[in-house]
Structure 1
Amino acid sequence: MNLPKPEHDELADGPIRAPDFSLRQLSYFLAAAQHQSVQKAAGVLHVSSPAVSAAIAHLEGTLGVTLFKRQHARGLILTEAGSAFAVQCRAFLQNANDLLQPGSLDRSALRGQVKVGCLTTFAPLVIPSLLNTVREDIPNAKLTWTEGHHEYLIEGLRTGTLDLAVLYDFEIPSGIQVMTLRSAPLQVVLPPQHALTARTRISTADINTEPFILLDLPRTREYMLSAFSSHGVLPRIAHSVTSLNMLFGLVAAGHGFSLLNFCPPYTVPGIGRIVSRPFESLVRQPNIVVAYSYRYHYPRVAAAIVERIASIIETLTIESP
């Protein structure tokens, strides 16, 4: 949930008004989100259940949104608006606590280890740049990293072997919070000499009879195939690959087309380059997100690293003209 940016500097016109809720109410809300229960949150906070319920009701009334779905069997489940609000609450409370620490406003005081995971498909364009900017901007931070597929990264967040993960927002389980960075719509990947490159958008009917090169990775396979099955058709799979380099090589050599959400400009040495065009599909278009567990303390150094990740992702070229 992105808050609107002010059209002018409020500090120039007068004091900034405090919102109609307290830090304590935010902490009650986050505890309920983490434990998915008013009763459990109250027990951890050593307050009464009505106090937690009242805090949530006040926030929902003030914001004008529903923060939780109430399910008898599963307890409290964050809504989409609730998830977005929880991200801002966690960062806000952490920053408020950090203000009490000595030297909290000194960038050189940012220190500590942060373990970052990144989806294999775009890790090569994210991790090296992140290592550079952290080394230059946050010299006292220790950044460790790994790359992997979706399930590997989610499991790392669950077990604590990862603090942050950069991935698509596919089937994010309860207990994992995400911060949206940018959308990543499906694209058709083609050799530049293909007749369909003249189109501004490509539909399933345009490519259904063409040989399809499938990126056969966990989650990716099912998602790509659903882009066809949602239209009641199946692709003609010519090749299954497990790496982008092989996919790009086969496409550039004219052995078929592929589908990707992330397709930066790429030239295969000795063969040629690839191009991409927007794909019209009924499947949900994912977002690239930063994810972390509710159990993660989310220190200020992690917030600084997330800020750098967001900047890198924002400037990535994810389409190949």
Structure 2
Amino acid sequence: MQLMPVSLAYFLEVARTGAVTEAAQNLRVAPSAVSRQIAKLESGIGVALFARHPRGMTLTDAGSRLMAHARRTEAESSALVTELRTGSGADVRNVTVACSEGFARRLVPHAMAVFRQDHPDVTFRLDRVPHQEATRRVAEGIADIAVTYAMDRQHDVRVECSVVVPMAAIVPPGHQLAGRERAGLAELCEYPLALPPTGTTHRDLFDIGVHMEGLTARPALVCDALAPKYEFVRSGGGIALVGDLGDPHPDPSTEGFASVPLDHPVFRRREAQVQTMLGRRLPWAATQFTTLLVSLLRPRATNL
């Protein structure tokens, strides 16, 4: 059920799709109806919300600001409808979290289990997505909270917590680097490496650091998932680059590997963040869970 004004709902769909025709198809109305509502909205506000191009429409600065408002309105409308239907009042008990894989492995599900010990009526949805997608989902109101990595200043979301966390190499027990307090990039490049693909924060920073040091790295395995890299290490294939978020077992050797923090300033460029939508008032459960996530993430900050 839609609680937003029709003109705002139509505006939001055109902003998402970049075309009146596609927006009309999604809304199941005539394109002329969408065009009339957009024109009515622009006339009422007194500014152009879209720049018209032969192949579509893009938001103006004013349109971008209205887009942020529309997203908040949509998210809060959806939450209100749920509250009214369930009779739960202000305490909506469903929380959606979008996070990148490193956080989905232990940190976020651990926090969910801890939270449900005191609030067993809360239901969580965990969506494991790439780091940029986690931010997008919060910005658009698809998820309540994002837990992800970022290397740039965030403008579309509210950053509840931002900390620099270490990078680490995982190595087999008994490896020459096992038990070391720190390892450098030059030492890593001496061994077969399992790395994430180019375009991930881990890999991009690693490549920058290798270039800065004048080193050459030849990956033995390139993989965008954690589980195969851990198995590659356990099976003696080499060593792997991972984000050190306390993911390993308290005694990593029981899982078939050891964790060695990496020592290079390039890794300070990456921050682990808890993000929520700008200007949105989160339901009680989501607000309390955000507080818990922040309390768990902050102690993991690096001292590099």
What range is the shorter-chain TM-score in? 0.5 to 0.7
Give me the TM-score of the superposition, normalised by structure 1. 0.56
Counterpart pick for 2:106 among 121, 125, 138:
125
Counterpart pick for 1:223 among 205, 208, 215:
205
Decide whether aligned partners of structure 1 residues 234 and 131 sit closer, same or farther in structure 2, where only a CA change above 3 A counts.
Answer: same
Decide whether aligned partners of structure 1 residues 135 and 204 sit closer, same or farther in structure 2, where only a CA change above 3 A counts.
Answer: closer
Q: Match of 2:277?
A: 293
Q: Is the 8 A contact 1:169 1:288 kept in 2?
A: yes
Structure 2 residue runs of 5 or longer lacking an equivalent are 1-60, 62-88
Is the partner of 2:178 in helix, strand or coil?
helix
Q: Is the 8 A contact 1:231 1:282 kept in 2?
A: no
Structure 1 residue runs of 5 or longer lacking an equivalent are 1-73, 75-107
User: In proportion to residue count, which structure has more helix?
Assistant: 2
Task: State the one-letter code of the partner of 1:215.
Answer: P
1:247 aligns with 2:229: yes
| Cα displacement (A) at 1:198 | 4.6
How do residues 100-115 of structure 1 correspond to structure 2 at under 5 angstroms? 110-115=91-96
Decide whether aligned partners of structure 1 residues 252 and 151 sit closer, same or farther in structure 2, where only a CA change above 3 A counts.
Answer: same
Q: Match of 1:71?
A: none
The higher relative CO (CA closer than 8 Å, separation ≥ 6) is in: 2
| Cα displacement (A) at 1:209 | 2.7
1:306 aligns with 2:295: no
Q: Is the 8 A contact 2:161 2:298 kept in 1?
A: no
Q: Match of 1:95?
A: none
Q: Distance in 1 between matches of 2:95 and 2:235?
A: 41
Q: Is the 8 A contact 2:102 2:247 kept in 1?
A: no
Task: State the one-letter code of the partner of 2:262.
Answer: F
Is the partner of 1:165 in helix, strand or coil?
strand
Q: Match of 1:283?
A: 266
Q: Is the 8 A contact 2:102 2:243 kept in 1?
A: no
How do residues 1-321 of structure 1 correspond to structure 2 at under 5 angstroms? 110-139=91-120, 141-180=122-161, 182-216=163-197, 218-220=199-201, 221-262=203-244, 264-265=247-248, 273-285=256-268, 286-313=270-297
Give me the TM-score of the superposition, normalised by structure 2. 0.59
Question: How many residue pairs are counted as aligned between the two chains?
Answer: 212
RMSD: 3.4
Decide whether aligned partners of structure 1 residues 264 and 305 sit closer, same or farther in structure 2, where only a CA change above 3 A counts.
Answer: closer
Q: Is the 8 A contact 1:183 1:287 kept in 2?
A: yes
**More deviation in 211-220 or 276-285?**
211-220
